[in-house]
Chain A
């Protein structure tokens, strides 16, 4: 592998051109560079020339998303693409370091996976327990079958209190429900309080990542958005200036908000507690400042007891950002004196997914984003190219449960390298589910003809070991012999911005036959 292609030979830098010369990150008590929260382990900065931000997939009603088309536009913006790739790979490496620092890491993953499997297969019992505990704590509990019902319930609560403005922390569930768009139509002012999510709201764009909503934007993009919407100096792209501008303009809105809403990372059945994990403390501001408090909870977020929380807290932030814990781990259990607390438990397709034999374990997801950070397709195409609430590997297996036709092409946006499965803190077999979705969608004729032909050929080969071995041998020699235009042609989307691996001279099977098998063919 050439030096240019091997990240390890360049001190982990994939794109040397985004290595910033100056470093603005915070320092610790002894002057050491800090790397907590979603901080980069080294300064990464998109090059100075302004490059228009590539936008996400073009949504055409119910028609299948063309992720490849949006990815091409992302690749055609090299400053954005390289900074994005570098940033996410850096977070992925921070995750590895954090995971390796805990000897029981694999045991924690296994326990977390088993706790989730147990809870999901007894979800009716644990939800009933949660509801009873919450009611005993003086909380108003609501049930929503889908996103529309969630929005109506929250609107009803707001209207009963005469509330016209609501501050909220980041919540993928409310993204699922189209909450902001619904409330705008009903004249309720919604203010996102997470910096990344606020940037996205002001730019009228969806979040591109579950924990770093604006990770696809450069500081120049943020400076543009804030100049347009907050009246900041368009030529000042200092990150501290931009973050401070957001703090100063959001705080008055938090102080005068009529209501606050948070999402939920974990809901504890035994105590009726909603747990949120944030770095900014914005869930705590949303929950503790306005006179009315609402928590939106996906029903799969339930865990049985407080003692189980320790397992997930140790896994979540390490998997997400390589940080031992988020700055704030908040446990909301009962209303403050003189105020109301509401909890809305939302199904929105989850109970249906539970009945899908091959896919129900995707409900274990704790939304850490590790699978996205490690995915070569995601890092090179950006979260918005998926045109769905959930992007990256987890999105490929969740999105089709919401709309099989619209998201029918997404399970093909994967190299099937399995890295997503390897980093998943709750051990979801993500890449196997991606493959299973391809089969389901092919059987239901939800995929284009070209891909159907490829699938049929692949299916025929994969079902017969001898044919598979012959094909592998041919593919390897083809990789060595084919001219570049055959591998890097427009029909092969994987070839874009990637170098093909050097094929081994001999397949493992051939090597094994030659070196390890006896003459009679027995091993």
Chain B
């Protein structure tokens, strides 16, 4: 008997008696107010992230200019900004090791937690979101959802090879509870509220 068959045989033989129906997940009322941008900004702030409103149409990246000015290597996955590291021609994930700032666009944000979602299509190279020192995230305020339940009704989770919710930067407090940003991944996460030029389908 294969390991699979043996495990399945035991699971059938040991099934607990009784009726255990699958409960419905109610449509919980969102715990956030109508101003999703304000809620998102406050919640992400508590998780160590930052939210900036885009600058003028001529210079939308003005609020993060100082971060960009200090960066030698910028990898951009968005059409709004041209970096100097081409993600589309990268052959190995390790090539992202020297990236100072990565710029990516979130599929959506979650107001209740301050999270943003990326899929492999948004990141182009998944590793850039972790190997870069700093992450700048473009988010269209129209893409804000109320809570996690709403997020998990989105199709990305059933379609993407990889989907990830980021809520602030990489963090640890494994040494005496001292909170430190940049444990293994990005040291900072800044969300720039900027409308999409082309609406996603």
Interface residues of A (CB under 8 A from B): 24-26, 28-30, 32, 34-40, 43-46, 83, 87, 90, 101-104, 107, 110-111, 114-115, 117-124, 127-128, 137, 143-145, 149, 193-196, 199, 212-215, 217-219, 222, 239-240, 242-244, 247, 250-251, 254-256, 268, 270-271, 273, 279-282, 284-285, 287-289, 299, 304, 306-311, 313-314, 323-336, 345, 347, 351-352, 354-355, 357, 360
Evaluate contact between A354 and B178: CB separation under 8 angstroms: no
- B 152-194 binary contact with A (CB < 8 Å = 1; else 0): 1100011011111111111111111111111111100000000
User: Given A243-B172, A243-B175, A289-B94, are A284 and B130 also a contact pair (CB < 8 Å)?
Assistant: yes
Q: Are B148 and A313 in contact (CB under 8 A)?
A: yes
Say yes or no: A219 contacts B4, CB within 8 Å: no
A144-B15 in contact (CB<8A): no
Decide if B176 touches A219 in the complex (CB within 8 Å).
Answer: yes
CA distance in complex: A137, B160 (Å): 10
CA distance A325 to B12 in the complex (A): 35
A34-B46, A37-B171, A39-B173 known; A121+B164 contact, CB < 8 A: no
- Note all chain A residues with C-beta closer than 8 A to B112: 324
Residues of A close to B148: CB separation below 8 A: 310, 313-314, 325
Q: Which of B18, B149, B177 sits near A39, CB closer than 8 Å?
A: B177
Interface flags, B85-128, vs A, CB<8A=1, else 0: 00000000110010000000000000011110000100000110
Report chain B residues within 8 Å CB of A326.
167
29 A/B residue pairs, CB under 8 Å, sorted by A: A25-B173, A36-B171, A38-B177, A40-B179, A43-B177, A87-B176, A90-B177, A101-B31, A107-B26, A110-B23, A115-B22, A117-B20, A124-B15, A143-B3, A195-B184, A217-B175, A219-B175, A239-B180, A243-B175, A255-B97, A280-B170, A284-B129, A310-B152, A324-B47, A325-B165, A332-B162, A334-B161, A347-B10, A355-B13
Report Cα–Cα, A350/B58, bound state, in Å. 60
In the bound complex, how far is the Cα of B177 from the Cα of A87, in angstroms? 7
List residues of B (1-34) whose CB comes within 8 Å of A's CBs: 2-4, 6-8, 10-16, 18, 20-23, 25-26, 28, 31
CA distance A335 to B160 in the complex (A): 10
* Complex-state Cα separation, A308 to B182, whole angstroms: 31
**Chain B contacts for A120, CB-based, 8 A:** 16, 20
CB–CB B167/A327 < 8 A: yes
Q: Looking at the complex, which one of B20, B46, B126, B173 makes contact with A118 (CB distance below 8 Å)?
A: B20
Pairwise interchain contact B175-A242, C-beta atoms closer than 8 A: yes
B47 contacts A36, C-beta separation under 8 Å: yes
Cα A330 to Cα B23 with chains together (Å): 25
Contact with A along B44-62 (1 / 0, CB 8 A): 0111101000000000000
Question: Do A243 and B129 touch (CB < 8 A)?
Answer: no
Q: Which residues of A contact B178 (CB under 8 A)?
A: 24-25, 39-40, 43, 219, 239-240
Flag if B97 contacts A251 (CB, 8 Å): yes
7 closest pairs, A vs B, by CB? A40-B177, A355-B14, A281-B185, A39-B179, A196-B174, A351-B10, A334-B161
The answer to whether B184 and A102 touch across the interface, beta carbons within 8 angstroms, is no
Residues of B within 8 A of A250 (CB): 184
Pair B183/A243 contact, Cβ less than 8 Å: yes
Where the two chains meet, the residues of B that have a C-beta atom closer than 8 Å to any C-beta of A are 2-4, 6-8, 10-16, 18, 20-23, 25-26, 28, 31, 43, 45-48, 50, 93-94, 97, 112-115, 120, 126-127, 129-131, 147-149, 151-153, 157-158, 160-186
> Do residues A104 and B28 form an inter-chain contact, with CB atoms below 8 A?
yes
Nearest residue (CB) in A for B176 is A219
The answer to whether A279 and B129 touch across the interface, beta carbons within 8 angstroms, is no
Residues from chain B with Cβ under 8 Å of A124 in the complex = 8, 11-12, 15
Q: Name the A residues within 8 Å of B4 (CB-CB).
A: 143
Which A residue's beta carbon lies closest to that of B120?
A: A336
B176 and A45 contact, CB distance less than 8 A? yes
Contact, CB under 8 Å: A329 / B3: no
CA distance in complex: A328, B183 (Å): 12
Neighbouring A residues of B183 by C-beta, 8 Å: 195, 243, 247, 279-282
- Assembly CA distance A40 to B171 (angstroms): 13
Q: Which of A199, A242, A287, A327 contacts B170 (CB 8 A)?
A: A327
Instruction: Knowing A143-B3, A239-B176, say if A118 contacts B21 (CB, 8 Å).
Output: yes
Q: Which one, A32, A144, A247, contacts B182 given CB within 8 A?
A: A247
Q: Which A residues lie within 8 Å of B147 (CB)?
A: 310
Q: Name A338's closest neighbour in chain B (CB-CB).
A: B91
A212 to B21 alpha-carbon distance, docked (Å): 35
Do A83 and B11 touch across chains, with their CB atoms under 8 A apart?
no
Q: A37-B179, A280-B172 are in contact. Are A144 and B48 (CB under 8 A)?
A: no
Query: Which residues of chain A are within 8 angstroms of B93 by Cβ–Cβ distance?
Result: 288-289, 336
Q: Is A271 a contact of B3 with CB atoms below 8 Å? A: no
In the complex, what's the smallest C-beta–C-beta distance from B44 to chain A, in angstroms?
Answer: 9
Which of A43, A115, A123, A218 is within 8 Å of B11, CB to CB?
A123
A281 contacts B168, CB within 8 Å? no
The answer to whether residues A333 and B180 also contact, given A111-B23, A284-B129 and a CB cut-off of 8 A, is: no
User: Which residue of B has the minimal Cβ distance to A196?
Assistant: B174
Of all chain A residues, which has the CB nearest B125? A288
Q: Within the complex, what minimum Cβ distance (angstroms) separates B60 from chain A?
A: 19
- Report the minimum CB–CB distance from B164 to chain A (whole Å): 5
Contacts of B162 in A (CB 8 A): 287-288, 330-334, 336
Asked whether A145 and B6 contact (CB < 8 A) given A37-B171, A279-B170, the answer is: yes
* A121 CB contact (under 8 Å) in B18, B129, B163: B18
Query: Cα distance A304–B13 when bound, in Å?
Result: 21
Q: Please tell me if the beta carbons of A335 and B174 are within 8 angstroms of each other in the complex.
A: no
Most buried by A among B23, B153, B173: B173
Q: Report the bound CA distance from A30 to B46 in whole Å.
A: 10
Q: Given contact pairs A288-B126, A310-B25, A324-B113, enumerate 20 new A-B contacts (beta carbons under 8 Å).
A: A26-B179, A32-B45, A36-B46, A40-B173, A118-B23, A122-B20, A195-B184, A240-B178, A247-B184, A255-B94, A281-B130, A281-B183, A288-B93, A307-B152, A325-B113, A327-B167, A330-B164, A354-B15, A355-B14, A360-B16
**Chain B residues, Cβ within 8 Å of A279:** 170-172, 183
Chain B residues, CB < 8 A from A193? 184
Flag if B20 contacts A114 (CB, 8 Å). yes
CA distance A46 to B177 in the complex (A): 11
